[in-house]
Amino acid sequence: MGKTALIIKREYLTRIRKKSFIIMTILGPLLMGGLVALSIYLAMQSQDSVSVVKVIDETGMIFDKLPESKMVVYEKDTMPIAIAREIFNSDQYYGILYIPQHAAAKPDSITLFTSKQPSPSVVTIIEKNLEQVIEEKNFSNAGLSKSMLDSLKASVAVLQRSVAADAAEKEFSAGVTAGVGFVGGLLIYLFIFLYGVQVMRGVMEEKSSRIIEVMISSVKPFELMMGKIIGLALVGLTQFLLWVVLTMIVTTAVSSAMTGKSEQVMEKMEQMQKENMIPNDAMHHPPPAIGQTEIFKALGSLNIGKILFAFVFYFLGGYLLYSALFAAIGGAVDNETDTQQFMLPITIPLILAYIVGASVMANPDSSLGYWFSIIPFTSPVVMMVRMPFDPPWIDLIISMIALVAGFIFTTWIAGRIYRTGILMYGKKITWKELGKWIFYKS
């Protein structure tokens, strides 16, 4: 155990002192802050352009009721459509909106002529504006009041609260809960891939440089493998915690600096709603938006301590399980090209866990969610998706025991492969050969 501890210390200190580790630890949060700033900037830029559309209205009743907007401006023209198309100037107009005489009875006959592929946002605004005008005209012809019909519509948003009498003010949110679970599962999925591959490459580097021959003269292959895996696990956990802290600092600073821009984006989004960028039903009866207060209330209903404990456990457990297999691959092959045939069977369960996680968010207590949160190869991702929904403790305990047992089993298999493979050079390894290594006697 003392030698394993020395290897863990060596791997940890060597990795965190590397320039690549320091650069990525700092660069990651800065990139996240830049992404937030860029998203706000692009949202502002996308709303700044104004499209001028020439309207030829043969009905004589629709153009005057088309609403003005900041994104689409309508200009009336009385010339025949054939002539308008011939003299169309794309530098002056975005397109020609042709409304034939029978448009009210056959809305599908309305045509937008453009010189290039039209923007979906512009087309949507025009369609919604036309829908509103034609609907109002049809209601008027039928002797109905549109405002009266709108008043009969209902928009229902069910409050979600705890049934316990002593927790009547404890509010839930299925959307926030599912989001927390998905983010937790996604982070574990990404970090297992990222640091598992690092273990494989580290073993391959030492094998190719023949350093491994010197090291195993005083350290058993199994101890060496365990030291590398645990050492890199601590490196990954350190980097993750630093990313969380630094990302919160950077994104908070960026958001504060661009508060004015954010408010402008929200104002423009509201303007888009007024211009019928969303369906009429939603415009007249908008569902209650989930604001920051509601989000914090929903987060307050979660067992954060239990979720964080599970995240750390499944982060380390999933990493250790898969890293043992990645280390075995690194010890068995001589170059990264040869790893492809062995990596696919290992990564398929992890990819499957990510896919299943999306379904489990919709029904966390399903049989699918239960079994995939118990199986060690998928439980790190799927159980994290279930955690915000507060699964039974018995499910969590069984899943953790299975994951520990799975790690011990894969480590045993990986150790058998590792002890033989690290001294193999220049030989093409097959699945059959790996099977023989597992059952070699010491």
Which domains are seen in the chain, by residue range? 51-152 (3.40.190.10), 172-253+261-438 (no CATH)
The one-letter amino acid code at 42 reads L
H helices then E strands: how many in the chain? 17, 4
* Closest residue by Cα to residue 3 from 272, 224, 323, 334: 224
* 196-246 tens-digit pLDDT: 887 787 777 776 666 666 666 677 767 777 777 788 778 877 887 888 888
Phi-psi region of 426 (alpha: psi -120 to 50; beta: other; left: phi over 0): left
pLDDT of residue 279: 44
pLDDT of residue 44: 62
Helix ranges, 363-425 (H): 367-372, 379-386, 393-421
pLDDT of residue 394: 92
pLDDT of residue 371: 92
Tokens encoding 423: 């001294």
The CA distance from 368 to 356, in Å, is 8
The CA distance from 50 to 64, in Å, is 19
The one-letter amino acid code at 415 reads G
* Closest residue by Cα to residue 382 from 325, 316, 310: 310
The CA distance from 243 to 391, in Å, is 28
The CA distance from 325 to 327, in Å, is 5
* Closest residue by Cα to residue 47 from 221, 269, 246: 269
Indicate the average pLDDT of the chain.
Answer: 76
Residue pair 212/422 in contact (Cβ under 8 Å)? The answer is yes
* Strands of 107-231, DSSP E: 111-114
Stretches where the chain sits below pLDDT 70 are 1, 40-49, 145-146, 149, 152-176, 207-217, 221, 255, 257-302, 423-427, 441-442
Tokens encoding 278: 């969303």
10 Å CB burial of residue 324 (0-12, 13-18, 19+) is: buried
Residue pair 103/109 in contact (Cβ under 8 Å)? The answer is yes
Tokens encoding 304: 């954060």
pLDDT of residue 211: 66
The CA distance from 332 to 429, in Å, is 7
10 Å CB burial of residue 157 (0-12, 13-18, 19+) is: exposed
CB neighbour list of residue 418: distance below 8 Å, 6 or more residues apart: 203, 221, 222, 225, 327, 328, 331, 332
